[in-house]
Amino acid sequence: MYSPSSRRRGRLHFPVSWIWFTLVIILAIVIVSVVSSIVTPWIKSLHFPAAPGTTQQVITTLNVQRTAAYAGLDITVVSAQYAVAFADDTIHSGFAIVRLTMQVANHSGDEAHVLYYSCAHLLVPKQSAISPTNTNLSVGPRPNTSESGWIDFPVPKGIQLDMLSLQLGSTTLNESLVTIPFKGAFDPGRYTDKSSQQNVTFSYTFIPRPYTVYVLTYHITRVDIRFAYQGNQCKTGQKFYIISFKVDNPYGVDVTPGWAYDYVRLVVNGYSQAPLDSTLPDTFKARASGTGGQVVFAAPAGMHPLTIGLLPQNGGTQQDHDLNV
């Protein structure tokens, strides 16, 4: 049972709690209003790039259709595009993106290994070269195949596509660089391989032991001068020189002069340089005629004439033979 005084205390307590609750609500509304009035203008002043695929992007396109050889591949810049973002590119760095649509063909029998993130750069006038942020190209198509894809570069606002160029080649590895401008003068022939047919024949004397002498006949049939060999781009200022041989053994026994690394040389600035690769056999079968192989050198570009030397195996003088290339 409640006393009258208890009921009076209960009736007096309820109105006091309601007043405090109302004051808290009013204070919260005032705080939210003040914060909103400060933050809203700041948020409106911020610019957030649209997420790819959320809105229709304005894309500017330049048809390029220019091809140059790099690392044994024929690389074509099909087109260049400029946009704030592309729907299939999840990497967004910088104000905008220049996307190069590419066609890459491997017409050789060699595997290719091209790291576009280190060897491809977008050249912008009066700016440092720009590295790519994303690509869907592989490290290179398999032998005798081709592929299509794109490379994206982050660029500042207002880039003019017809002022740009694609540079291929790793400066870290000191590779010979290839530049494809999107407009203006362009000579792709400066990056193509050269081949020179030869008809040079000479004898090579091999003395494996005392009183045993073999004389083999060597024919140089062709010299290929290339920017790339087995998917590797040559160094700046150099070329690959690939010498094609055919060898005759007139004897009724196998003759083994050894590997070309031991006795075939390229004379460079008066010094004899060993090959970096060779497919010339170390042994020529009995009475074999026209046994073929290639000997490969990396040497300064523009060598003329080309001088091939054969080291004697009996302590004599090196035989030198000039090739017009």
Q: Is the pLDDT of residue 25 over 60?
A: yes
Q: Write the DSSP symbol of residue 88.
A: T
* The last residue of a domain, from among 134, 156, 191: 191
Among 117, 148, 115, residue whose Cα is nearest residue 130: 117
Same domain, 156 and 198: no
Task: Specify whether 233 is located in the same domain as 314.
Answer: yes
Residue 245 lies in a domain: yes
Other C-beta atoms within 10 Å of 302: how many?
10
| Residue 13 reports pLDDT greater than 50 | no
- Indicate whether 176 and 73 sit together in one domain: yes
Nearest CA to 134 out of 147, 144, 122, 143 is that of 122
Per the prediction, the chain carries an average pLDDT of: 86
Q: Identify the domain containing residue 241 by its residue range.
A: 194-323
**315 found inside a domain:** yes
Is residue 50 a part of any domain in this protein? no
| CATH code, domain carrying 121 | 2.60.40.1240
- Ranges 10-14, 284-288, 312-316, most confident: 284-288
Q: Which of 176, 191, 206 is the last residue of a domain?
A: 191
Instruction: Say what the pLDDT of residue 45 is.
Output: 42
Residue 235: CB atoms within 10 Å: 15
Cβ atoms 149, 135 nearer than 8 A: yes
Does the pLDDT at position 3 exceed 50? Answer: no
Instruction: Identify the pLDDT of residue 211.
Output: 82
The verdict on 117 and 30 lying in the same domain is: no
Contact 81, 155 (CB under 8 A): no
Q: What is the model's pLDDT at position 50? A: 45
Query: Does residue 313 share a domain with residue 227?
Result: yes
Digit-coded pLDDT (tens) for 212-266: 899 999 999 999 999 999 999 999 999 999 999 999 999 999 999 999 999 999 9
Q: Are 124 and 177 in contact (CB under 8 A)?
A: no
Query: Is the pLDDT reported for residue 35 higher than 90?
Result: no
Higher pLDDT, 70 or 93: 70
Instruction: List, as one string, the DSSP characters of 140-190.
Output: -PPTTEEEEEEEEEEE-TT--GGG-EEEES-TTTTBPPEEEESSS---GGG
pLDDT band, very low/low/confident/very high, at 286 (cuts 50, 70, 90): very high
pLDDT class of 112 with cuts at 50, 70, 90 = confident
In a domain, 76, yes or no: yes
Say if residue 261 is in the same domain as residue 210.
yes
Whether residue 59 is predicted with pLDDT greater than 70 in this model: the reply is yes
Element spanning 263, H or E: helix 260-263
Q: Is residue 116 part of a domain?
A: yes
Same domain for 221 and 182: no
pTM of the model: 0.79
Residues 129 and 91 in one domain: yes
pLDDT at 33: 60
pLDDT class for 111, splitting at 50, 70, 90?
Answer: confident
What is the count of structural domains for the chain? 3
Distance CA 76, CA 191 (A): 13
Evaluate whether residue 55 is within a structural domain.
no
